[in-house]
Amino acid sequence: MTETSAIQDFQSLGLGARVLRGVRAAGFNTPSPIQAKAIPEILKQNDLIAQAQTGTGKTAAFALPILEMIDHRNGLEALVITPTRELAMQISDEIFKLGRFLRTRTVCVYGGQSIKKQCDLIAKNPQVMIATPGRLLDHLQNGRLENFTPKFVVLDESDEMLDMGFLDEIEEIFNYLPNNIQILLFSATMPPAIKKLAEKILHNPVHIRIAPANVINTDIMQRYYIVEDNARKDAIIALLTKENIEKGIIFTRTKKEADNLFEYLKARGHKAQCLHGDMDQRSRRAAMLEFKEKKCDILVATDVAARGLDVSDVSHVFNYHIPLNPEIYVHRIGRTGRAGKKGSAITLVTSLEFKELRSIQKEVGGKLEPYEGEGISQKRMLAHHIRQEILKFKVSDEAFELYEELERDSDLPQITLRLLSLHLQTLENNSKKRLQNKAKNSYKRGKRAR
C-alpha cells in the first residue's frame, strides 16, 4: 500500500492534515479495528467505553482524535490516567511522536520521580499529561495543579488499575475534575467494578468491543499440557528443556507464585527474571531491561506487571494456570508471534480444567493441540483421555448396584487397576487390528494394480 492511500484511509476517519503527517511519520498503514471504530466516535465528542487488547493500537485510537481536537495555543487540555510508570512513558512517547507536526508537548507524572521536577515541567504548559493515579492525586490534594481543567480524560488499562487497587484514587481524582469533560475508558477486560465505575462517571457512552477472536494471531501455535496440580514446576522444567526458547514469558496468577517459580528456575540453572507489582520501580526496570537485552531468556510475570511490557522476539508464552477468562488468554499469548514470526503458547491444565480450556478455545478461535513432545507426558496424556472417555458415561442404576456389591467383597483399588489393564489391552488390540486392516487393504490395492 502506498503512503498516499494509507493517509487517505486515516483521513476518511476525520483527521486533519497535520495529524495525518504524524500518522505517516509514525509508519502507520491502515487503521486497526479499534482505531477505525473509536476515532470517529471520539471526534463526535462522545464519551466512550472501548474494550480491546493491548497491542491493537489503543493508544493511537484515543491520541489521534485528541490531538485533532485540542487547542495547541492553550495549556493542558488532555489527561491520560494509566496504572504504571512504564505505560505512562510509552504513551507519552507515542503521543509526542504522533503530535510532532503540531508541536504537542507532553508531561509524565508518576511516583518515584522528584515532585519539584514534575511541577517545573507542568509549569511549561504541556497540552497532554500522562499520569499514574497515586502521584496525580497527591498533586491535586496538595494544590500543586492550579486551574486544572482538562477537556479530555482517558482511563487506560482500567482493569489493571482495578487489579492494582487504584479504583478509590480514580473516583477521588474525578472530584477535582470539571463536569463537562469528555471521558474515554479503555480496558482489556470489563469486570463488574469497571462497569460500575463507568456508569458513575461517563455520560451516555458509546460502547465498542473488539472481540478476542479478531485478535488471535495465526502465527501462534496453541498447545496444552496435562499436569497434576502439584506438578506444575516440574512440568515447566520439562517444557523448558524440550522447547527451543529464545525468549519466554511464564504468566502466573499471583505475586507469591511468581517469586516461588522464579527461585525454583534460578536454582536449576535457568537464566530467569521476575516481574510483579510488589517490586519497586528500580527492580522492575532492571528485570525488564535484562529480558529485553537477552541477558535472561525467561521472565516470570503476573498479568498486572506485564501490561506495560513491550518486548519483541518472544518465542514462547506459558500459562502456569489456565487464564481466568478468554480476554486474559488472548492478551497473554499475544506477546508472541509478532512481526510475522512464529510463536508458541503452552497452557498447563489439569484434567478437571479441560472444559474451561475448551470454552476459551471456542470463544477465541484457533486450534489448541495437546503437547506431544518426545518422551514427555505420554502417560499423563493417556490418563487424561481415559478420564475424559469415562466421564462421557452417565452412572446407571445397575452400575451403582454392582459397585456396592464389589465394595463389600473386593479391594476397589485392585479392581480399578484391573479395569484399566483391561482397557489398555483393548486399546492395544484395537491398534493392532487397525494396522492389520491397513496392511490388508494396502495388499489388496497392490494386487488390483497388478
Q: Which residues of the chain have pLDDT under 50?
A: 1-8, 213-214, 375
In the chain, list all ranges with CATH 3.40.50.300. Answer: 3-210, 214-389
The pTM score is 0.58
Residue with cell 503530535: 99
In angstroms, the Cα distances linking 231 to 162, 267, 431 are 31, 17, 31
**pLDDT of amino acid 450:** 56
pLDDT in the model for residue 3: 38
Res 7: pLDDT: 43
294: left (phi over 0), alpha (psi -120 to 50) or beta: left
Query: What contacts 166, CB < 8 A, 6 or more positions away?
Result: 83, 133, 134
What does the pLDDT read at residue 10?
86
Written out in words, the top-level CATH class of the domain with range 3-210 is alpha beta
**How does pLDDT run across 244-293, given as a tens digit for each residue?**
898 999 999 888 999 999 999 999 999 999 988 778 777 887 888 899 88
- For residue 387, what pLDDT is reported? 67
Length of the chain as a residue count: 450
pLDDT tens track for 51-68: 986 667 889 999 999 999
Residue 2 confidence (pLDDT): 38
Pairing relationship of beta strands 128-131 and 78-81 according to DSSP bridges: parallel
Nearest Cα to Cα of residue 343 among 245, 235, 442: 245
DSSP 268: T
Q: Which CATH architecture has domain 214-389?
A: 3-Layer(aba) Sandwich (3.40)
* DSSP H or E segment with residue 363: helix 354-364
